[in-house]
Amino acid sequence: MKNGQSSIELFTGAGGLALGLAQSGWHHSALIERNEHACSTIHMNESLGHPLVKGWKLFPDDVRTIHYSELADHVNMVAGGPPCQPFSLGGKHRAYQDKRDLFPEAVRAVRELRPECFVFENVKGLLRQSFASYFHYIILQYMTCPAGRT
């Protein structure tokens, strides 16, 4: 662990963001991804000896079932990429009415873990005018999260 900073990543996918964070020195306390094919990719990279993947604690679970208190006492960062389909230009544009909108779960993780920082990425479509109210709502939810532990 280069910088002594720990993270938990939600919606890990095949591990692209996790690899970048690991390369910058972050230590993953847990990675959560429910898609079995994405998990298989991470396991394959580990079996091939990829040095950044070594020792990753992958939880093949749905974030809605995770009890964060069981994963770590303290993390410095929560990261991830919530599903983009509710906001994608190619999707049905249903935002919070789409059951795949998991931004509320990202907010729950930040509220429960109280990290010093968080990073969530999504598609450009989230910034469209039709989603402006919801986007501002998401930002307000993060702003009302308690500050991280010192």
Which pair of tokens denotes residue 86? 């509710």
Residue 84 designated active-site: yes
Residue labelled with tokens 């079932």? 65
- Report the first-to-last Cα separation within the chain, whole angstroms: 20
Tokens of 17: 């963001």
Taking the C-alpha atoms of residue 44 and residue 46, their distance in angstroms, rounded to an integer, is 5
* Residue 96 neighbours by CB under 8 Å, 6+ apart: 86, 103, 134
- Active site members: 84
